Amino acid sequence: MNEYYLCEFEYGYEGQFYQEIFNNQVVRYADLDGNTLTLEGEYGCRIINLNPERPVWAN
């Protein structure tokens, strides 16, 4: 089952997003609505919640 970290950007982009993880590999980044984020260029981010409430759109 996928895990989710709730993260926020430090630079490059604004706002919060989920880092979706399966088997300790990053599967994708998703916005709060579950849409896949394609990150381009340089950016920084950090985890703000390691165990957030599971997103309603999560499988």
Partner 1 sequence: MANTSLNTQPIYTSSADTQWIGGATAANTTKDLTSGTAYLAFTASSTGGGYVQRMRFRALGTNVATVARVFINNGGVTGTTANNILWDEISLPAVTLSEVSALPTYELPLNFALPPGYRLFVTIATVVAAGYAITTIGGKY
CA count, 13 A, side-chain hemisphere, 43: 17
Q: Counting contacts by CB under 8 A, is residue 47 touching partner 1?
A: yes
State which residue, 3 or 58, has the beta carbon closest to partner 1.
Answer: 3
How many CB atoms are located within 10 Å of the residue 50 CB?
10
> Nearest-CA neighbor of 32 among 59, 2, 8, 3?
8
Residue 37 found at the interface with partner 1 (CB under 8 A): no
> Any contact of residue 14 with partner 1 (CB under 8 A)?
no
Chain residues that interact with partner 1, rule: CB under 8 A: 5, 7, 10-12, 19, 21, 23-26, 41-47, 50
